[in-house]
A and B are shown apart, each in its own frame.
Chain A
Amino acid sequence: MGPVEHLHMSVFSQSFSPCGRFLAAGNNYGEIAVFSLSSALSPDATDMSRKPILTFTAHEGPVFSLLSTDSHLLSAGNGEISAWTWAELIKRNTKAVWTRRPNYKSSLEIPEINAMTINPTENSLVIGGGDNNLHIMDLESGVFKSVLQGHTDYIHCLSVRERESEILSGGEDGAVRIWDCRTGQSVHCIEVYKYEDCARPQYGKWISCLTTDSDWMVLCGGGPYLSLWHLRSLSPTSIFPLSGCQRQATFYQDMILSVGEGQFVSHCLLGGEVKAQIPCTPHSLNTLALNLNSTENRVLTVGGSSHQIDVFANLSYRSFSLAF
């Protein structure tokens, strides 16, 4: 990997290991790098400890999504999902445990996988991507058991409401669909761009980030403004005046952390105010991850259009950067 490749690298996905001591990150060249957070955060950390302990090529296309289960790391590449054992990765063994490919209808181009999420009640993996459909894979048997059709353009993001056993999906077509896992039917469809307060026609209508706290609200962003929706009434409760298109957001304590276009992490209050915008290294951000798996390595990491991944030990300023 030469300096020019580093210059054009983007980080698309991140996932913390179940033990919380390691961070896996995927980039646009199909590589996954594993960083040791504990050594990068230790007081005697050097530049070398902020380099990956392991870098390997996982897929041909970009790694848009990474997900950790209790023992495995799942990565999504060009139309395929691979699983790696964390224990083996830490031993620098980079052989995939399995690789699965959803049944796509033939197409000139292999559809990408933009989002993955686990539905814990059914122990299944929900996959959404370039073919406009949601594929549900049983994690026990590895069989793709159902396909949820309804979106008219590719799917950007997924979320699961555990208690209600509902899946939410947001796509390029601007729709947020809520699916009932048991019937496989779309129960609701929110079209965010149709609400005047949220719409930004100059950007477009796509929904690229979607988060639910599983209770009553859902956060949608993308072309339209980032907005908090009340699920029962299906109406926006607060709209956040963030200028760029948001790519990922998450609830954290009584705040919402959001990243997207722009060189900063936005801290928003549920009421709709932007509390702070914390500067970081990449010019636009793709991914944000909070390490809640271990108390001593509790950090926020963000990655974007750079080979660097910014680490926030404290939410209010950037501590240092990990680098591919």
Chain B
Amino acid sequence: MSDALKKRKSKVVRSETGTPECKRGRGEVDQSVQELRVYNEEVELDGRDPEEDYKEYKLTCKALANLMNDIQELKANGAKDGCAEVEQKRMQSCIHFMSLKKLNRLAHMRLKRGRDQTHEAKQRVDVLHLQLQNLLYEVMHMQKEISKCLEFKSKHEEIDLVSVDEFYKEAPPEISRKSNTQDDPHQLTLARLDWELEQRKRLAEKYKESLSSKEKIQKSIEVKKEHLSSLQPGLNAIMQASLPVQQYLSMPFEQTQKQTEIARHLPPSLYVLLVQANAYGQACDKSLSVSISGDVDEAKALAKPPDDSQDDDSADSDAEEEQEKTKRRRPTTGGQLDDKRREMLKRHPLSLCLDLKCKDGSVLHLFFYYLMNLNIMTVKAKVSTATDLTGAVSAGELLNPDTLLNCLYANDQGRETPNPANRYQFDKVGISVFGDYVAELGHPYQWVQRLGGLQFPTDTPEGMRAGSAISASHMENTMKLLRGRVQSRLALHKHFSSLEHSIVPVSSECQQLFPAKVLSRLSRWTTITHQEYTSMSFTQHVSEAGLARDTDLFFMAVLERGTARLQAAVVLNPRYPEISPLFALSLGWKGERTGRTDDNLRAIESEVNVFKTELQGPRPGHQLLTNQLARLCVCLDVYLETDGQDDSVEGPREFPREKMCLRTARGPNRLKPFKYNHPQGFFSHR
């Protein structure tokens, strides 16, 4: 038993130390045998099947257990230690232990080997994984690089190239290399860039050349300028020397030169007017003269950068007109606003004076002003006559400078500013109507703006033209109209003074329009106001038709014959004689009859208003008004003499029939014969 225990002990020790190095230290013999066996065991391990080993292990354990039981039984039956049978059995079980030990070793070795194998495989997998990671990273990097390349902005994209067609057309074949570039856009772009470079080089060269030529020219200009400035003193000397000659020959070179010197300071619109008026005066109308008046120094100061120390606007030249004007005071509410208004309505210190002489010696003076802040032009007019024109009371309005130029063109009253922008300017400073200021500033007629080359958009669209073209296109017409206006006003003036003396002047050319014997007489000729005109009942139809406007002049003529009294209310358009006067009649005889109720009076009205062309007389028709009045007298005669033709009425007639009439009535409304037939001297119907 103790041996078995020793053996077991040593075996245990051996198995515990386990490693061949330890065994080597114990005994050389064992060591060599064992080394061989270890070696053999490892080889053996490969040849053995683990399943078999397992079965063997089971069998061994079973056999061992059987032996143990046998020994137990034997011992229990009283066998002694060391009896052969027991000893044998013990031997057998030792052998079994040995094989168990071997199996155990094998199992350990198998386990170790398995562990090693697993470890090895794991290591391999790790390496592969690492490689994969590397590759993935590399791919990602490559992709990034590719996209970077794709996004790369080349410098050439910013260069404007000629189009492809043009390139092929213009570039020489050695650059364009059509065969190469046609299909390859890259080559094409390269070629185009080459061509661009070529061209730019050429242009740069050209630019250099131009610069140098420019410099050359500048130098030559410089030289010429010097030469010219050196001429100035010489010329001045000649001018000085020629002055006496000029005076002697009465050639106003100097004067015109001075005028052009001053004219440089005129505002553009006045300058346009000056130039155009001068040109027109020289070319077509010798009796037109233009001059500049006003303070030149002030204008010069104005031309310089804005200087707030400008003093009051009224230039000296205006002083004379200002005196004869009834000086209007503007309401002075709030000094600041007033100053602003004054500033806004300021006119340029220089003004133009245009004198238009008529054949009879009278002169129309027109003063043109330029309102700087409103950018409009205004005009004031004055007529000076050769002969003294006093006496006619009703003619007072005729030459009134305020209304003289009214409606030179239709509807041009010159009360409203023609520049639409001004309305907003006025709103700012509280000017409600420009009309309040025209007496002071002059009238901003449309034609004045056009003469000055100013064109403002109106409600009626028309083509915009610029500058002096406008002025030139209106100059002739306007000058003719102006002259016509003055002449017609003067003619009217003359007529009015005789009308006030109850004489209707009929010139010899117009004698044939009227019979020799006219008994109706003009008894009164007075001027009336627009209100008075519209308040009369027999003028209602004229007012309703819109033919009596407040710009017109209104007169009342009274014709009398016996007890009959014919009132004629006359509307005189400012554009007379182009627009003929309009008569409205009312007859006071046997009750009141008017042109509205009596067909015959209506016929007389149309006789003077409608059939007026035959009354115009020699052109331009200044005798129209007096001829109309003369015809009115004739028609009144006819009316009175043919009225009450009922012969059965007893007693002498108030108006004996003296006119020769073919028929006294005609047509459904029984009109009287108002038309005079000249050589035969009888009256007939229209």
Asked whether A109 is an interface residue with its Cβ less than 8 Å from the other chain, the reply is yes
Asked whether A208 is an interface residue with its Cβ less than 8 Å from the other chain, the reply is yes
Apart from A7-B542, A114-B668, what are 4 other A-B pairs with CB-CB below 8 Å?
A7-B541, A64-B667, A112-B666, A154-B665
List the B side residues contacting A108 at CB < 8 Å: 662, 682, 684
Question: Chain B interface (Cβ within 8 Å of chain A)?
Answer: 541-542, 545-547, 580, 582, 596-597, 599, 602, 605-606, 609-610, 645-646, 648-649, 662-663, 665-670, 682, 684-686
Min CB–CB distance A118 → chain B (angstroms) = 19
List the A side residues contacting B686 at CB < 8 Å: 61
A130 near B668: Cβ-Cβ < 8 Å:
no
> B662 — nearest CB in chain A belongs to which residue?
A109
Asked whether A12 is an interface residue with its Cβ less than 8 Å from the other chain, the reply is yes
Identify which of B542, B645, B663 gathers the most chain A CB atoms within 10 Å of its CB: B663
> A8 — nearest CB in chain B belongs to which residue?
B606
List the A side residues contacting B670 at CB < 8 Å: 172, 206, 208
List the B side residues contacting A206 at CB < 8 Å: 665, 670
Sampled A-B contacts (11; CB under 8 Å): A3-B545, A4-B580, A7-B542, A7-B545, A12-B668, A109-B684, A154-B663, A204-B645, A206-B665, A247-B668, A247-B669
B646 near A204: Cβ-Cβ < 8 Å:
yes
List the A side residues contacting B546 at CB < 8 Å: 3
List the B side residues contacting A154 at CB < 8 Å: 663, 665-666
A6 near B545: Cβ-Cβ < 8 Å:
yes
Residues of chain A from 125 to 145 with CB closer than 8 A to chain B in the complex:
130
Asked whether A150 is an interface residue with its Cβ less than 8 Å from the other chain, the reply is no
Contacts A3-B545, A4-B609 hold; do A172 and B669 have CB atoms under 8 A apart?
no
Contacts A6-B545, A7-B609 hold; do A201 and B666 have CB atoms under 8 A apart?
no
Contacts A12-B668, A109-B685 hold; do A201 and B649 have CB atoms under 8 A apart?
yes
Asked whether A275 is an interface residue with its Cβ less than 8 Å from the other chain, the reply is no
Asked whether A224 is an interface residue with its Cβ less than 8 Å from the other chain, the reply is no
Min CB–CB distance B648 → chain A (angstroms) = 7
Min CB–CB distance B254 → chain A (angstroms) = 54
List the B side residues contacting A286 at CB < 8 Å: 668-669
Q: Which of B547, B609, B668 contacts A64 (CB 8 A)?
A: B668
A4 near B597: Cβ-Cβ < 8 Å:
no
Asked whether A261 is an interface residue with its Cβ less than 8 Å from the other chain, the reply is yes
How many Å lie between the Cα of A206 and that of B667 in the bound state? 12
> B669 — nearest CB in chain A belongs to which residue?
A286
Contacts A3-B547, A204-B646 hold; do A10 and B666 have CB atoms under 8 A apart?
no
> B603 — nearest CB in chain A belongs to which residue?
A8
> A247 — nearest CB in chain B belongs to which residue?
B668
> B594 — nearest CB in chain A belongs to which residue?
A283
Identify which of B546, B665, B682 gathers the most chain A CB atoms within 10 Å of its CB: B665
How many Å lie between the Cα of A107 and that of B666 in the bound state? 15
Asked whether A305 is an interface residue with its Cβ less than 8 Å from the other chain, the reply is yes
How many Å lie between the Cα of A261 and that of B601 in the bound state? 14
> A62 — nearest CB in chain B belongs to which residue?
B667
Asked whether A284 is an interface residue with its Cβ less than 8 Å from the other chain, the reply is yes
List the B side residues contacting A151 at CB < 8 Å: none
Q: Which 4 A-B pairs have the closest CB atoms?
A: A8-B606, A283-B596, A109-B662, A8-B610
B599 near A4: Cβ-Cβ < 8 Å:
no
B582 near A8: Cβ-Cβ < 8 Å:
no
Q: Which of B582, B646, B669 contacts A4 (CB 8 A)?
A: B582
B648 near A201: Cβ-Cβ < 8 Å:
yes
How many Å lie between the Cα of A64 and that of B663 in the bound state? 17
Min CB–CB distance A200 → chain B (angstroms) = 10
Q: Which of A4, A114, A204, A205 contacts B547 (CB 8 A)?
A: A4
B667 near A8: Cβ-Cβ < 8 Å:
no
Residues of chain A from 66 to 118 with CB closer than 8 A to chain B in the complex:
107-109, 112, 114
A305 near B599: Cβ-Cβ < 8 Å:
yes
A305 near B668: Cβ-Cβ < 8 Å:
no
Produce 1/0 per residue, A185-206, CB < 8 A to B. 0000000000000000100111
How many Å lie between the Cα of A156 and that of B666 in the bound state? 9
List the A side residues contacting B667 at CB < 8 Å: 12, 62, 64, 112, 114
Identify which of A7, A112, A204, A247 gathers the most chain B CB atoms within 10 Å of its CB: A7
Min CB–CB distance A285 → chain B (angstroms) = 10
Contacts A201-B649, A247-B669 hold; do A5 and B663 have CB atoms under 8 A apart?
no
Produce 1/0 per residue, A166-186, CB < 8 A to B. 000000100000000000000
List the B side residues contacting A305 at CB < 8 Å: 596, 599, 602
A4 near B610: Cβ-Cβ < 8 Å:
yes
Min CB–CB distance B8 → chain A (angstroms) = 137
How many Å lie between the Cα of A62 and that of B668 in the bound state? 11
Min CB–CB distance A320 → chain B (angstroms) = 17
How many Å lie between the Cα of A62 and that of B545 in the bound state? 23
List the B side residues contacting A114 at CB < 8 Å: 667-668
> A201 — nearest CB in chain B belongs to which residue?
B646
Produce 1/0 per residue, A212-236, CB < 8 A to B. 0000000000000000000000000
List the A side residues contacting B682 at CB < 8 Å: 108
Identify which of A12, A172, A205, A206 gathers the most chain B CB atoms within 10 Å of its CB: A172
Min CB–CB distance A220 → chain B (angstroms) = 15
How many Å lie between the Cα of A3 and that of B579 in the bound state? 12
B610 near A208: Cβ-Cβ < 8 Å:
no
B599 near A8: Cβ-Cβ < 8 Å:
no
List the B side residues contacting A7 at CB < 8 Å: 541-542, 545, 547, 609
List the B side residues contacting A284 at CB < 8 Å: 597, 599, 669
How many Å lie between the Cα of A261 and that of B594 in the bound state? 13
List the A side residues contacting B649 at CB < 8 Å: 201
List the B side residues contacting A283 at CB < 8 Å: 596-597
Min CB–CB distance A6 → chain B (angstroms) = 7
How many Å lie between the Cα of A109 and that of B686 in the bound state? 10
Min CB–CB distance A235 → chain B (angstroms) = 23
B663 near A130: Cβ-Cβ < 8 Å:
yes
How many Å lie between the Cα of A208 and that of B665 in the bound state? 12
List the A side residues contacting B684 at CB < 8 Å: 108-109
List the B side residues contacting A247 at CB < 8 Å: 668-669
Contacts A108-B662, A283-B597 hold; do A10 and B610 have CB atoms under 8 A apart?
no
A172 near B665: Cβ-Cβ < 8 Å:
yes
Residues of chain A from 250 to 301 with CB closer than 8 A to chain B in the complex:
261, 283-284, 286
How many Å lie between the Cα of A204 and that of B546 in the bound state? 37
How many Å lie between the Cα of A107 and that of B685 in the bound state? 13
Min CB–CB distance A177 → chain B (angstroms) = 18
List the B side residues contacting A12 at CB < 8 Å: 667-669
How many Å lie between the Cα of A247 and that of B582 in the bound state? 29
Min CB–CB distance A242 → chain B (angstroms) = 15
Contacts A205-B646, A284-B599 hold; do A109 and B663 have CB atoms under 8 A apart?
yes
List the A side residues contacting B666 at CB < 8 Å: 112, 130, 154
Q: Which of A4, A5, A156, A204 contacts B668 (CB 8 A)?
A: A156
How many Å lie between the Cα of A284 and that of B598 in the bound state? 8
List the B side residues contacting A109 at CB < 8 Å: 662-663, 684-685
List the B side residues contacting A4 at CB < 8 Å: 547, 580, 582, 609-610
